[in-house]
Structure 1
Amino acid sequence: MTDKPVPVSAPRVVSLYNPANILTVVRIILVPVFLVLVVATDLTGTGARIVTCVVFCVASATDFVDGWIARRWSLVTSFGKVADPIADKALTGTALVLLSAYDRLPWWVTILILVREWGVTALRFWVIRYGIIPASRGGKLKTMLQIAAIAWYLWPVPSPFDVVGAWLMGAALIVTVATGVDYVIQALRLRRNARGD
């Protein structure tokens, strides 16, 4: 009796043109749309601010949806791994810079957050040959707080409720800095363990 060879299934190929990647591209496209809306309206006028906030929130929502789709249906691609965080940082970074440019948010807050965001991205590339630093729960909380704070600043919230935006941004800033320190520790530990130091 001869053993029949077991057929080896070919590795699953994920199309670049999948719903998760399309949503990521939509978010990238919405960044300049959001920028033009802010510049055109100067963040004045109730209607204009509502439209601007809605565009920002829709773009932000695609971040959560594309990630869920990619994980749920195993549609993770190299393009998505690179484009998704870039799209996130482009959107929140643009919003923060515009809020500071229109005197809605202190510049030091924007600078501190941007230094952390791009610093962590550079850190991940620095240790990529040793391993990948996964997104933490703190990182996800940071993203949600930043989005909530920015949306609050954009929406024409009446006084005294507008002060909630400052509290949300304060919480976002604390979590942003704390998770940034945590990523630095993870990167150094990963590099040390990989090199056997």
Structure 2
Amino acid sequence: MTEPVPPAQPPVQTAPLVNVANALTVFRIILVPVFVVVFFVDDGTSASWRIGAFVIFAVAAITDRLDGSIARSWGLVTDFGKLADPIADKALIGAALLSLSVLGVVPWWITVVILAREVGVTLLRFWVIRHGVIAASKGGKLKTMLQSVALGLLVLPLQGIAYDVAMWILYAAVAVTIVTGLDYVWHALRMRRRAAERPRGRDGRTP
């Protein structure tokens, strides 16, 4: 008797490391120090250089939207992209926050709150990585959008009501940042609790 032939398995699709999505991510990382240098020309007092810094920040923020969309729609998702994309996002937001706080445009407590949340969420992801991945929520995407809009506006030499509007958007971003941070903590604790409740095998590991 002939042995049954196992059903054919679909080939594993692997995206090349060098692709358009990853190139955009690397480009965004390169733009971060360029943004900082341009922002601090004439100690950040030059209106024309501040506008130039805004253009750089806007281009970097746009690539953030593009690289993820291209990676998913073109099948170009890679492990490098998964790691580098959030690093690029945090580097851009962190550079803008620190630069604006050094210049006195954004209060330091806002910078500390936002950066502490970002570091905390990153540590939470590593804490539960063996049990699963905490996916980005809609609130997290809203947080990123509000932060990008507010910081982009504040990079410009705004005054009066325009500055006040930008700051209110940033306050809204801080509120969403705190709420989504607490949501990540809740999801991480629930994931760990569920893992602890699963039956373990003879080797002591969760099956």
Asked if the contact 1:38/1:52 (under 8 Å) is kept, the reply is yes
Q: Tell me the equivalent position of 1:58.
A: 59
Asked if the contact 1:145/1:169 (under 8 Å) is kept, the reply is yes
SS of corresponding position for 2:40: helix
Q: Tell me the equivalent position of 2:98.
A: 97
Gaps of 5+ in 1: none
Q: Would the alpha carbon gap of residues 166 and 195 (structure 1) be closer, same or farther in structure 2, given more than 3 Å must change?
A: same
SS of corresponding position for 1:148: helix
Q: Tell me the equivalent position of 2:122.
A: 121
Q: Tell me the equivalent position of 2:111.
A: 110
Q: Would the alpha carbon gap of residues 160 and 75 (structure 1) be closer, same or farther in structure 2, given more than 3 Å must change?
A: same
Asked if the contact 2:41/2:49 (under 8 Å) is kept, the reply is no
Q: Would the alpha carbon gap of residues 33 and 6 (structure 1) be closer, same or farther in structure 2, given more than 3 Å must change?
A: same
TM-score (norm 1): 0.94
Q: Would the alpha carbon gap of residues 74 and 158 (structure 1) be closer, same or farther in structure 2, given more than 3 Å must change?
A: same
1:159: how far off?
A: 2.4
SS of corresponding position for 2:131: coil
1:88 partner letter:
D
Identity %: 53
My pick for the range that moved more, 66-75 or 182-191, is 66-75
Asked if the contact 1:43/1:154 (under 8 Å) is kept, the reply is no
Cα deviations across residues 37-61 of structure 1 (Å, max 9, x unaligned)? 1222422222111110010010111
Gaps of 5+ in 2: 199-207
1:97 partner letter:
L
Distance (whole Å) between structure 2 residues aligned to residue 33 and residue 8 of structure 1: 47
SS of corresponding position for 1:165: helix
Distance (whole Å) between structure 1 residues aligned to residue 62 and residue 43 of structure 2: 24
Distance (whole Å) between structure 2 residues aligned to residue 147 and residue 101 of structure 1: 18
1:56 partner letter:
F
Q: Tell me the equivalent position of 2:163.
A: 162
1:23: how far off?
A: 0.6
1:4: how far off?
A: 7.4
